[in-house]
Amino acid sequence: MSATYQPGVAAPSADAASSPPAVVVDRLDKTFKLPHNQPHTLKERVLHPFSSTTYEALEALRDVSFTVPQGEFFGIVGRNGSGKSTLLKCLAGIYEPTSGAVGVNGRLATFIELGVGFNPELTARDNVLINATMLGLTRKQAAARFEDIIAFAELEQFLDLKLKNYSSGMNVRLAFSTAVQVDADVLLVDEVLAVGDASFQQKCHDVFQRLKDEGKTILFVTHDMGSVERFCDRAMLLEKGEIVELGDPIPVGRAYNEMNFGRRTVTRPGEARYGDQHDAEIGSLWFEQGGQRVDALAFGEPAAICSELWVHETMEEAVFSVGLRNEAHLPVLRATTEWQDDFPNRLEGGSHYLVRLEFDCWFAPGRYDATPALAHGGRAEDIVDMREGLGAVLVHAVRHSGAIVDQPVRFEIESA
Amino acid sequence: MSAPAVPALPWLPDREAAGRFVRLTYTLAVTEWKLRFFNSALGYLWTLARPLMFFAVLYVVFSQIAKVGDTVKHYPAYLLTAIVLFTFFAEATGNSVQSLVDREALLRKIRFPRSVVPLSVCLTALFNLGMNLIAVTVFLFINGLYPNPRWLELPAFVLALALLACGVSLLLSSLFVRFRDIAPIWEVVSQMIFYGSPIFYTVSQYGSFAREMSLTPFVAILTQMRHALIDPTAPSAADAAGGMVYLLIPCAIIGAVFLLGVWAFRRASPMLAENL
């Protein structure tokens, strides 16, 4: 164990470059020992003093190093079990690092869970004062800020109600209001934004914006790529306890989405196939982005649908088309070579072709499938091969407007 | 990465951290106490009820049936005072055993000095002792015992007992995290301490072991309590132990238990959150 906590003084300085970093994590490892059968009693221990327990080592964090400068809003993302919360708890000093060091410069406040220590039998007033003390305020400070806390939570009428009579939403509002009153230079926040109704969420966002403007350093764990993009200056992606990506929030958010959807191959059982496939056959179909075969597309980026054609007999007027449907089976894209004058109509018999359809991926996040079709031109009914839903893809985005298609738009305003 | 300029988990006992420690302990203790007190209309009566009922039973058994108390001056007063002091110790230690596990949510989510938890339990017991001592004082008046300068020794007994209770609480609560049978074991030990201490009898009834027994903290405290509060003609702790100097032994035991508790707790403390 080599955790080192060195005393230091937070140096609030206008010149961020010269001030020490707010958070330093240096080659942090955290391994949990999960005993296979732990003797949970003194009796067992006395009866079998030499039976050694076997452990399963769970490496929750492996060689994690990063530095967060003062005043930065730093996002930590990752799938469940990737080590986010363990990292936060190591930073908070709740867990002891197995090796490596963590350091926090300045006063630290941790919001791992809201309303920890709230007692349902006590009134809101008592609970706020207790919780504020737990979080590090003095009694005087807590009493002085009490009005603000209650006003922010909008619970003025319910001050002397026991907490057990509160709705869960009121509970959370009270807890959040108390938590944000705490003075700290560095805040560790674990997914607390997803609380309350829409108007309260807006208030929470405002608070975070305010904290950001005040130059607080915030480490923020979330699953919501929208808030990562909105608030974070930088972000970090953890997977299996290791840093996968660290830097600008947008690529990190994208990497997170790819991690969630990308490695999964989506196949459709029982595809319907039409045509006699005598003159030609459609082989496989896949999606490409950035020159690579992918199973998931990043929103807003150029992408391509690729399909193989095996032509047996020469086709003079071949027409290739592709349709893309969303989950609701609504067509969102249909393109045919008929509309493109420079596309060669003639396909040689005995050849192997690769067709690419390039498009910009403005489709809403979700699952899509592609249906390629090959036909003799001019005779629309004469389908050679059509394979319904041959390929499928997921589109992921950090934003979601709710519309089927999110093409790039731009507002302008002028006084009229 | 260069040597990280990394500081400031408030671990060093600076003034701010010490202030927070005291505030937290006090707040938790008051909360716990309030909950017990104000949750039922008869809160205070209930906290009194236990030692009083216990007193009534023991009084009937040992003074009316077994006639143990006949030779002891002001036996009921002595019995009640001793019970109240023992109740404090038993409550503080007994409630501490599971205190860390009961507050798991807190320990896993917020960083604060972990020893706050068992110490706040002891403080709550101390508040209860204060309330019970009010009743005891009334009872002493009824029995014709009035305040005199020797009563000023009372805080010293309480302090000694509190130190002992804190040491045991720290030790037991940290052990309980790993050994869950500490709780029933301690219940039995606690009973043994009760019957082994001069609560419903006096130190002279140990017979030939009286002197050796007087060197243990409980016997010394209770003996001195009897001398100071109840009956000045009864032997003091120093008399029973065979001289002032020998009182250093019970004091040393209390100190050792306290330090052992602190040591055990500090050792277990860093890994507490994940072992819970």
Torsion angle in degrees (nearest 10) through CA of B99, B100, B105, B106: 90
Query: Does the structure show a pLDDT above 80 at A34?
Result: no
pLDDT at A152 over 50: yes
pLDDT of residue B10: 43
**B260 pLDDT higher than 90:** yes
Residue B262, pLDDT > 90, answer yes
Structure tokens given for B4: 């990280």
Is the confidence at residue A15, as pLDDT, over 70?
A: no
- pLDDT, residue B223, reads 92
Give the global pTM.
0.72
End-to-end CA distance of chain B: 34
- Residue A342's SS3 state is coil
Q: DSSP secondary-structure letter at A347? A: B
Restricting to A residues 126-145, those with a Cβ less than 8 Å away from any Cβ of B are 126, 129-130, 133-136, 138-139
Q: What percent of chain A has pLDDT over 70?
A: 88
Interface of A with B in 76-105 (CB under 8 A): 89, 92-96, 101-105
User: Could you tell me if A193 lies within 8 Å of chain B, comparing CB atoms?
Assistant: no
For A24, the closest of B4, B11, B270 (CB atoms) is B4
CA B21 to chain A, closest CA, distance in angstroms equals 10
At A4, the pLDDT band (50, 70, 90 cuts) reads very low
What pLDDT score does A18 carry?
A: 59
For the stretch B40-83, pLDDT in tens is 656 677 777 878 888 888 888 877 887 777 778 888 889 889 99
pLDDT tens by residue, A337-396? 888 888 888 888 888 899 999 999 999 888 898 989 898 876 555 788 888 888 888 898
Answer whether A246 touches B (CB < 8 Å): no
- The pLDDT tens digits for B202-235 are 888 888 888 888 899 999 999 999 999 998 888 8
B4 contacts in chain A (CB < 8 Å) = 21, 24, 26, 67, 101, 103
Q: Considering only the beta carbons, identify the residue of A93, A105, A133 that sits closest to B5.
A: A105
pLDDT at residue B32, as a whole number? 85
Going by the DSSP 8-state scheme, the letter that residue A404 receives in this structure is S
Sorting pLDDT into bands at 50, 70 and 90, what band is A151?
A: confident
Mean pLDDT estimate for chain A: 81
Write the pLDDT tens digit of every residue in A275-333: 778 888 888 899 999 888 888 888 888 999 999 898 988 888 888 999 998 888 788 89
B37 touches chain A (CB under 8 A): no
Q: What is the ipTM of this complex?
A: 0.74
Of the given ranges (A57-61, A132-136, B36-40), which has the lowest mean pLDDT?
Answer: B36-40
How far is A400 from A197, CA to CA, in rounded Å? Answer: 19
Phi, psi of A82 (to 5 degrees): -85, -10
Contact (Cβ atoms closer than 8 angstroms) between residue A314 and residue A348:
yes
Residue A121 forms contact with B (CB below 8 Å): yes
Chain B, nearest residue to A44 by Cα? B179
| pLDDT of A13 over the 50 cut | no
Mean pLDDT of B249-274: 92
Task: Give the closest residue to A370 by CA, choosing from A353, A352, A395, A387.
Answer: A387
pLDDT average, residue stretch A232-254: 88
pLDDT band at A48 (very low <50, low <70, confident <90, very high): confident
Contacts of B5 in chain A (CB under 8 A): 6, 8, 20-21, 24, 103, 105
Structure-token match 């490409």, residue found: A288
